[in-house]
Amino acid sequence: MKRGNEYFKNGNVGLVDELISGEYEAEVNGSETYIVNVTLKEGVITKLGCTCPYDMGPECKHEVAVMYYLQQELLNSTAESKENSTTEKGSTEKNPARKKTVVEQVDELLEKLSADDIKKYIRETCTKDRSFRELFISRHLYLVQEASKELYSNQIKAVVNSVTDRDGYIDYKEKGKIADAVSDLADTASAEIEAENYRVALFICYAILEEMADLINHGEDDSDGDFGGGIELAMSILLAICEEPIDESLRKELFDYCVQAFIKGKFDDVECSYSMLEIAISIIKGEKEKLTIAMALDSIKPNGERFDYNYKEAQQLKLKLIRKTESEENAQQFLEANLTNSDFRREIILKAIDDKEYNRAIELAKEGIKLDEKDKPGLADEWQWHLLQIYQQQNDTTNIILQTRYLFLNTSRYTPKDMLDILKKQIPPAEWQAYFNQLVEDRKKSERNVGFNRIAEMYVWEQQWENLMALLLKNPSLENISGYEKYLAPKYASQLIGLYQSGILRYMVHHVSRDHYKVACSYIGRMIKIGGREEANILIKNLRTLYPKRSALMDELGRV
């Protein structure tokens, strides 16, 4: 914000054009000249982008500079509009002419030019400017050439070529043009679906998928997600086509394309091969096609690694294939036969719970714990959680207590406060305090390095302020004091003030930057807030005596 404001005040924002109403393109001059694009709707920014390489935050200084510029322009415009609206009736003052948008200027010129003038200009420019020629021809070739995948691929390639430098690298400043071209083609595909021209829409999808995959496969930088976003657009349109009443020849063509893309690994590097096969399953017909997909899936073998993504995805698709072409009974048999797949185990456990087959659900959960507790502790925790759900449905108090206690002491996946609340409902009130005290001790033992906060939060939940204060006295870091001050200040303000005093003195021994001094002074401020003004003054005096040469410290102390 600061650097962007400096750019704005120093006049670094150069030419600013309103392309169409609410869409601006601005030049910002710095070490280089960058282009910023902004879209406004009712005074709110809905789209923002810059051609600079900054990637350490959501916005760059160039974008901020343009925001300030547009804010000023809009405020001035609004002020002038109000001033003109209050001009007395009959006044000869005229509203200042609004600057025309780029589109309005172009439209005005096109109205003045003859068709022959326009043709001559385009012809001459195509001859002199290769980038313009490639874009113009590829964009309008559909008027004289039958629609095909190649037609739309060439459109994308023309845009790619136009932003590729002499060394064959895509200019990062111009990458957005590729994304815009793909987005336009995706809009065209959607329009073709509306017009029931499904084959044309498919050609566009194939072109986008293949060209974006090629860019990624050839190592082009996609850290901003432009190319991957194009693939997602194409996949969403393919799914939309599958929902339409396409004819049999087109269905077969799409089915074959998706299956072959999977078999040949066409989109392996862009991680949508399994999505292609999922599309094929959604439009499958007949035993022959079923066998084709089954054989493709059976070619994926387990690799024996801890996380076998490919094999798990293949199993998921095999299940979808069975559910699409066979009975639910067969699907359940497949699930049961592949319980090492955690998704399958989860599904069967949840179904058993729904069907009140609790013994079966318990058996599956315990098997899962034994299977996963060593290599996949997160999954083992989930199976423990399912056991708790089962015991709760059975109103099995003994096992609810045992299971909740285990989750409270051994996992962080489920909210400890929720676990404590479950325990409190199960333990008789007369026995709760003793149980809680033992739980505190067990929690200390359950972790190799017990954090202060893990025990302190238990005392907060139970509002045991005396125990919390005793714990704080053993762990008197400034962070701990400030973290639990709000709970303890009403009863233990004087003790907290004393802890702050000693803690700040310890802190200042080894911390010597202005930022550290600001931190120390913020803690002095907290002392004052809870009634320690006198103690704070004494501490400030001591610090001035101890560190008279730390000018930055003297400055910060003067602000307290």
Asked if the structure places residue 501 within a domain, the reply is yes
Asked if the structure places residue 451 within a domain, the reply is no
**Where is pLDDT greater, at 165 or 199?**
199
Least confident of 86-95, 138-147, 500-509, 549-558: 86-95
> Please, are residues 235 and 267 in contact by the beta-carbon 8 Å criterion?
no
Query: E strand or H helix at 28, and its extent?
Result: strand 23-29
**Predicted confidence band of residue 269 (pLDDT cuts 50, 70, 90):** confident
The pLDDT of residue 170 is above 90:
no
d(CA 97, CA 80): 11
Q: Which residue among 18, 46, 80 closes a domain? A: 80
Domains contained in the chain, number: 2
The pLDDT of residue 228 is above 80:
yes
Asked if the structure places residue 510 within a domain, the reply is yes
Predicted local distance difference test score (pLDDT) of residue 77: 62
Q: How far is CA 456 from CA 371, 425, 499, in A?
A: 35, 21, 17
Predicted local distance difference test score (pLDDT) of residue 307: 79
Q: Which residue among 80, 108, 139 closes a domain? A: 80
Average pLDDT over residues 114-121: 92
Asked if the structure places residue 543 within a domain, the reply is yes
The pLDDT of residue 540 is above 90:
yes
Average pLDDT over residues 280-304: 93
Domain with 519 in it = 478-557
Q: Would you call 450 helix, strand, or coil by DSSP? A: coil
Predicted local distance difference test score (pLDDT) of residue 431: 96
Which residues, 6 or more positions from 407, have their beta carbon under 8 angstroms from its beta carbon? 381, 384, 385, 388, 414, 419
pLDDT digits (tens, 9 = 90+) for 41-65: 888 898 888 888 777 777 899 999 9
Asked if the structure places residue 102 within a domain, the reply is no
Average pLDDT over residues 494-519: 94
pLDDT digits (tens, 9 = 90+) for 12-26: 998 888 888 889 999
> Please, are residues 181 and 159 in contact by the beta-carbon 8 Å criterion?
yes
Predicted local distance difference test score (pLDDT) of residue 270: 85
pLDDT digits (tens, 9 = 90+) for 334-372: 999 999 999 999 999 999 999 999 999 999 999 999 999
The pLDDT of residue 94 is above 80:
no
Q: List alpha helices for 355-513, DSSP H.
A: 358-372, 377-394, 397-410, 416-426, 429-446, 452-461, 465-474, 478-510
**Where is pLDDT greater, at 224 or 265?**
265
**Where is pLDDT greater, at 169 or 85?**
169
**Predicted confidence band of residue 450 (pLDDT cuts 50, 70, 90):** low
Least confident of 138-152, 154-168, 226-240, 279-293: 138-152
Predicted local distance difference test score (pLDDT) of residue 102: 85
Predicted local distance difference test score (pLDDT) of residue 366: 97
Asked if the structure places residue 204 within a domain, the reply is no
Mean pLDDT of the chain: 89
> Please, are residues 544 and 537 in contact by the beta-carbon 8 Å criterion?
no
The pLDDT of residue 449 is above 80:
no
**Predicted confidence band of residue 83 (pLDDT cuts 50, 70, 90):** low
Q: Which residue among 80, 100, 125 closes a domain? A: 80
pLDDT digits (tens, 9 = 90+) for 96-110: 556 788 888 899 999
> Parallel, antiparallel, or unpaired for β 13-20 and 33-41?
unpaired
Average pLDDT over residues 302-329: 91
Predicted local distance difference test score (pLDDT) of residue 174: 76
d(CA 213, CA 202): 16
The pLDDT of residue 87 is above 70:
no
d(CA 381, CA 220): 41
d(CA 254, CA 276): 10
d(CA 478, CA 504): 7
Asked if the structure places residue 139 within a domain, the reply is no
Instruction: Please give the model's pTM, rounded to 2 decimal places.
Output: 0.70
The pLDDT of residue 141 is above 80:
no
Asked if the structure places residue 212 within a domain, the reply is no
Average pLDDT over residues 137-141: 73
